[in-house]
Amino acid sequence: MLRIEKLTKKFGRNTAVDSATIHVDKPMMIGVIGRSGAGKSTLLRMLNRLEDITEGTIIFEDRKVSSLTGADKRAWQADCAMIFQQFNLVPRMDVVSNVLHGTLNRRSTLSTLFNLYPTDDIHRAIDILDRLGIAEHAPKRAEALSGGQQQRVAIARALMQDPKIILADEPIASLDPMNAQVVMEALRRIHEEDGRMVIANLHTLDTARRYCDRVIGMRAGRIVFDGLPEQLTTDMAREIYGADATFSEEATSTEINTIDRSAAKAALAKVTA
Ligand SMILES: Nc1ncnc2c1ncn2[C@@H]1O[C@H](COP(=O)(O)OP(=O)(O)OP(=O)(O)O)[C@@H](O)[C@H]1O
Ligand SMILES: [Mg+2]
Is the separation of the CB atoms in 147 and 178 below 8 Å? no
Does the pLDDT of residue 30 top 60, yes or no? yes
Count CB-CB contacts under 10 A for residue 257: 17
Pairwise CA distance, residues 213 & 193, whole Å: 15
40 Cα–ligand 1 center, Å:
8
Assign domain 2-272 to its CATH architecture.
3-Layer(aba) Sandwich (3.40)
| 25 compared with 107, residue with greater pLDDT | 25
Of all residues in the chain, what percent carry a pLDDT higher than 90?
Answer: 75
Q: Which ligand is nearest to the CA of 216?
A: 1
Q: What is the pLDDT of residue 107?
A: 58
Does the pLDDT of residue 253 top 80, yes or no? no
- Sorting pLDDT into bands at 50, 70 and 90, what band is 245? very low
35 Cα–ligand 2 center, Å:
9
Count CB-CB contacts under 10 A for residue 97: 19
- 203 CA: nearest ligand 1 atom: 25
Residue nearest to atom 12 of ligand 1 (CA): 16
31 Cα–ligand 1 center, Å:
18
Does the pLDDT of residue 108 top 60, yes or no? no
